[in-house]
């Protein structure tokens, strides 16, 4: 039984000057692969389920959340469960009942004042229910399919945002972009250091699939703590499925290698960010 709180995993990583990988779960095989990869790397890990993934499961959080929690409970490394990129207040309120230790409430598309108001109210609710709350300032691009690496979070604004909202962690825009299938992003490490000095809470890097290993290492050194990775698992999964899709009708023939490929990716990236 090693389902632990996100706060514990993130605080321990931060205190040790390490990063912690937070990987997105879409299917049961993703959750199994994340835990297998973390066990191979002997590292703590965060399993996160995004609002988009909930939508894929017909808008029902329960089945995939319970599956991920059950996989986490059977792990022999610490595993935390996080609800990711939540924009829907109704979904936010479901987090408390499904084993999550944390939520990322994403009001980053709103202008600053509206983002502060929506995030402060989400943080108050989360704290009243024992949940750690992450928010985003300076929209990390790519969620609409467009590569938008030019956006940046301003350190002074970030400090004001954290003070005004009471969030426990802050996702910042420093050069990464969501859903990249090539690892070509270049991060602004000097900005990461300035953000780390400006805000008291741990920093979160989104869109990390597009960031090369060495850039990830430098990002952790500069002050990033929670490293969010989704697409890299899907690249591994789909690569294996494509290779084996002609191997008969039993889905286990391609899902097993796809799960192994994701686990290898997880183990590798955990060694990079936690090394
Ligand atoms: O919140 C999730 C991450 O930001 C994943 O981004 O799919 O580009 O790695 P990615
Ligand atoms: Zn993200």
- For 230, phi then psi, to 5°, come to -125, -60
User: By three-state DSSP, how is residue 111 classified?
Assistant: coil
Of the chain, the percentage scoring pLDDT greater than 70 comes to 96
Q: Does ligand 1 come within 6 angstroms of the Cβ of 24?
A: yes
Specify the pLDDT at position 94: 96
Are the CB atoms for 78 and 108 separated by under 8 Å? no
Among the atoms of ligand 1, which is closest to the Cα of residue 210? Answer: 8
* Structure confidence by residue, pLDDT tens digits, 138-165: 877 666 544 466 789 999 999 999 999 9
Are the CB atoms for 174 and 211 separated by under 8 Å? no
Question: How far is it between the farthest Cα atoms of the chain?
Answer: 57
32-46, 142-156, 232-246, 247-261, range with the lowest pLDDT = 142-156
* Closest ligand to the CA of 25: 1
The residue to mutate among 21, 48, 230, having the most atoms of ligand 1 within 8 angstroms of its beta carbon, is: 230
Are the CB atoms for 35 and 47 separated by under 8 Å? yes
Specify the pLDDT at position 146: 43
- For ligand 1, atom 2: residue with the closest CA: 228
User: Residue 108 and residue 228: Cα distance in Å, rounded?
Assistant: 16
Mean pLDDT throughout 212-231?
A: 98
* Structure confidence by residue, pLDDT tens digits, 164-194: 999 999 999 999 999 999 999 999 999 999 9
The active-site residue out of 76, 84, 154, 260 is: 84
pTM (two decimals): 0.97
Residue 84 designated active-site: yes
């Amino acid at each position: 039984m090693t389902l632990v709180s996100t706060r514990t995993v993130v605080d321990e990583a931060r205190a040790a000057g390490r990063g912690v990988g937070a990987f997105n779960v879409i299917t049961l095989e993703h959750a199994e692969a994340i835990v297998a990869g973390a066990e191979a790397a002997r590292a703590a890990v965060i399993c996160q389920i995004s609002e988009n993934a909930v939508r894929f499961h017909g808008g029902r959080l329960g089945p995939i959340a319970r599956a991920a929690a059950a996989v986490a409970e059977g792990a022999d490394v610490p595993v935390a469960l996080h609800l990711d990129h939540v924009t829907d207040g109704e979904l936010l309120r479901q987090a408390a009942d499904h084993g999550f230790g944390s939520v990322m409430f994403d009001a980053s598309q709103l202008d600053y004042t509206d983002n502060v108001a929506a995030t402060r109210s989400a943080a108050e609710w989360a704290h009243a229910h024992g949940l750690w709350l992450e928010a985003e300032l300076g929209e990390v691009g790519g969620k609409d399919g467009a590569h938008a690496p030019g956006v940046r979070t301003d350190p002074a604004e970030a400090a004001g945002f954290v003070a005004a909202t009471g969030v426990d962690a802050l996702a910042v825009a420093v050069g990464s972009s969501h859903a990249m299938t090539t690892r070509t992003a270049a991060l602004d490490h000097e900005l990461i250091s300035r953000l780390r000095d400006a805000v008291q809470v741990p920093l979160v890097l989104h869109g990390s699939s597009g960031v090369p290993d060495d850039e990830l290492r430098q990002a952790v050194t500069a002050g990033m703590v929670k490293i969010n990775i989704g697409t890299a698992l899907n690249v591994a999964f789909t690569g294996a499925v494509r290779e084996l899709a002609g191997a008969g009708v039993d889905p286990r023939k391609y899902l097993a290698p796809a799960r192994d490929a994701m686990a290898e990716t997880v183990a590798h990236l955990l060694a990079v960010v936690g090394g």
